[in-house]
Structures are given as structure tokens and as C-alpha cells.
Amino acid sequence: MLDLLITNATLPDGRRHISVAVQDGRIAEVTEGLRAPAHETVDAGGLLLSPPFVDAHFHLDSALTYGQPRVNASGTLLEGIALWGELKPTLTHEAIVERALAYCDWAVARGLLAIRSHVDTSDPRLLPVHALLDVKQRVAPYLDLQLVAFPQDGLLRRPGALENLQRALALGVDVVGGIPHFERTYAEGSESVRILCALAAEQGKRVDLHCDESDDPQSRHVETLACETQRLGLHGRVTGSHLTSMHSMDNDYASKLMALMAEAQLGVVANPLINVTLQGRHDTYPRRRGMTRVPELLAAGLTVAFGHDCVLDPWYAGGSADMLEAAHMGLHLAQMTSAQAMRQCFEAVTTHPAALLGLQGYGLAPGCHADFVLLHARDPAEAIRLRATRLGVWRRGRRVASSPAPVAQLALPGRPGQVSLLAPPRPPE
Ligand SMILES: [Zn+2]
């Protein structure tokens, strides 16, 4: 007797009428039309069953603090950093834990079951580090939380920052972070990249740097990041987050740079909601979109994810843990409108970030963890179009969240009384 059987599902790769059999928290079988006795059987009704959403770039220590102690008036990255600096002395362990747990509840409701969160290590007390390590342990049964030691105020700009970061790693923080474009000089930014990559190589850690988050086409720290990755043999373990300066770079230089990035097998995280909000603030018109070159990086063979980055904090006044919202914005900013590109946008919030985080047992294949989401959509493009309702969310074969199908009751003369926003079946490509 199976623990759980999902029948008549459509998978993100387009396979239809698929049954997914679950035993002991793992996927036992993925086969067309399978019927077998199970403790629980769910008819997916032809809707999309996806592996869970993954957010490769988030800040759980600042999430849900919007308006404390005031709102970001200029809307820039730098005012956001200053505002977070004002807020930090007032933080308490309990308040960070409470807000982070509330956000993780939202995440589970949205089928977001793995988050890489940066955690600010600038404060010598490491208050956010202790709080998020506590949260990591508490949410572990239902959500994978990976933490990045993030020297928000700069590694070389702030005395003691390297030591604080090393202490955070020793306490159990998983990944080495950094912010080279915020160091005092370009040279110090490059030096910070070298120090952080060497530290990661020495400790066998992954790297994920906030990198070139500006509209300055001369901000080229990702070049150093690719070079150090290559030199130290860190291939596949290093991610460049944001890389917004690439939006404004000269095409000739960008073509050389993308080849170097591909050679180093860098991961890339674009944060479309935040990039379009924070970048271009010094422009008049035309005003740049500020997101890195996503389709070109994918074409060069790089693994590109869309992150959410911020929700209701000093940098962003919106968000609700919905990775489909990030995918929706990314699709528009990068004009990824072909059928293949829309699928890639869905991969950028599922399989691609899972690869960047190094998640084990992720996916819809026999042997993987029985973690998945049933969406009120028929395919990935429709899931993005509708920011589809998560009808059911399962973790290790156990249902952890449900939402009713969004169906409106109309009261129109001569028209059927119920309407859903599902589209007619798509024509074949
Ligand atoms: Zn960030």
C-alpha cells in the first residue's frame, strides 16, 4: 500500500496523465496512468505538478520590517543600507525569529520550500546569525534554509568584518557572502573577492556574493569572481547575485565576460523585482531596467535563477513569498516571451536555484524527496501568467498547505455562473 498517489498530473516538462507514487517520504514511481492502492489518492485533474519553488536569494533578517524606523524615501540601494543600519541597533533575537518564522509560513503556503538567505554579519554580537540559525533548526522539518554570511557594511570597509564573518561560518552558517561594490574603492572590492574566495576554498564552502549591484558599467567585480573561481577550482560552487551593472556594459566587453563566467561555471541570480525597483534611480529618461542579461547568460550555458531578495523591508515595499511573482517580472524585464523562454523562467524559480543551492534529492523523479506543489495552471507559462494558486503543497509526502481553487461566481444574465482564469489548451508548438 502506497502512502500517497497523485494521479492525472501534468509535469513541467510537458508529460501528461502522470501518476506520482510516494512511499516513506520519497517518490517511488513516476508513470503514465498508474493506479495502485494508497492511503491517500489525489486526482490532479490534468493540472501542473511541480517540484517546490526555491528562492536562491533572500534576506530573512530584514524581511517584514517595512516602515521601521521609516520608509526609504529615495528608493535607492544605498538609502536602504543606511536605513537597515538605523534599524539594526533596535533588533532583538526574539523579533528576528518571530518575523522569520512568519515569513517561512508564507513561503510554505506558496510552495516555496527552500530558501538561501543572506544574514548580516556586521554586528559583532552576530544577533541575526544566532536568530536565523535558531530559525533554520525550527523550520527544518518543512523548509530547507541555507544561510550566507553576509558582511552588509563591507568586508574591508568595516573593521572586524572578516573576523565576524569567520565566526558566523564557525557557528554553522553555510555559504561565504560579500559585497565588493560597496567597499571604499574598486581595488578594495577586488581584494574582498580574492579574500572571500580563498576563505571558501580553504573551508570547502560555497560562495554567493552580492556583486556589481549598480548601474555603473565599469563595475566589473564579476570578472574577478570568475577569475578566482577558475584559479581556485571552485567551479559550480560560486554564485554572483544581482550583476546589474552587466545591463549597462558595453556589448563587446560583455561578450568576453560571459565566456569567462561560463568557463568558471558561475551561478547567476537576478532579482527582477528588486533590480527594476532599485536600479535606474539616477536616470532621467530613458530609464534602465537594471536587470542582468538573463537570456544571454542562459544561452552561454550558465545556470540562472530569479530570486525574491526582499519582502516588506528597507529595500522593497511589496512581496508575499511568491516566486511566480519574481518569474513574472523577470519574464517581462528580459522579454522572455517565447514558449521556451517562458519555461526557462519557470526553471529559474525551481530547478535552477535548486542546483545553485546544491539541494540533494530535489525533483520529480524516483528516489527524490516527495516534495511538490499542485498548481492551478496547466503548464509553466500559465503558472507564471496567473501566479497560480497553490492547491496543495507536500513535503516528504505529507501535505503541509492547501488553498481552494480560485473560481469566481458570476451573476451575469445569460452567462455561466462560474469562471476560472485557466486558458483554453495551447496550440502545439
Ligand atoms: Zn540581497
Residue 56 CA to residue 117 CA, distance in Å, equals: 8
pLDDT digits (tens, 9 = 90+) for 256-303: 999 999 999 999 999 999 999 999 999 999 999 999 999 999 999 999
- Cα of 6 from ligand 1 centre, angstroms: 37
Give yes or no for residue 429 having a pLDDT over 70.
no
pLDDT digits (tens, 9 = 90+) for 70-127: 999 999 999 999 999 999 999 999 999 999 999 999 999 999 999 999 999 999 999 9
Contact between 341 and 398 under an 8 Å Cβ cutoff? The reply is no
Q: Tell me phi and psi for residue 349, to 5 degrees.
A: -120, 10
pLDDT score for 428: 62
Give yes or no for residue 148 having a pLDDT over 80.
yes
- Cα of 258 from ligand 1 centre, angstroms: 22
Give yes or no for residue 130 having a pLDDT over 70.
yes
Residue 344 CA to residue 76 CA, distance in Å, equals: 29
- Cα of 376 from ligand 1 centre, angstroms: 30
Ordered domains of the chain (ranges, CATH):
2-51+363-402 (2.30.40.10), 53-357 (3.20.20.140)
- Cα of 117 from ligand 1 centre, angstroms: 8
- Cα of 105 from ligand 1 centre, angstroms: 21
- Contacts (Cβ under 8 Å, ≥6 apart) of 98: none
Give yes or no for residue 427 having a pLDDT over 80.
no
The answer to whether residue 213 is catalytic is yes
Q: What is the DSSP letter of 321?
A: S
Residue 151: cis peptide before it, omega within 30 degrees of 0 = no
Cα 163 to chain centroid distance, Å, stands at 28
- Cα of 56 from ligand 1 centre, angstroms: 10
| Catalytic one of 183, 188, 191, 213 | 213
Mean pLDDT, all residues of the chain: 96
Residue spans of alpha helices (H) in 160-315: 161-171, 186-203, 221-232, 251-263, 272-278, 294-299
Tell me whether strands 418-419 and 408-409 are parallel, antiparallel or unpaired.
antiparallel
404-to-322, 389, 401 alpha-carbon distances in Å: 17, 8, 11
pTM (predicted TM-score): 0.97
- Cα of 295 from ligand 1 centre, angstroms: 21
Q: How confident is the model at residue 415 (pLDDT cuts 50, 70, 90)?
A: confident
Other C-beta atoms closer than 10 Å to the C-beta of 172 total 11
pLDDT score for 414: 86
pLDDT digits (tens, 9 = 90+) for 5-23: 999 999 999 999 999 999 9
Q: What is the DSSP letter of 115?
A: E
- Cα of 26 from ligand 1 centre, angstroms: 33
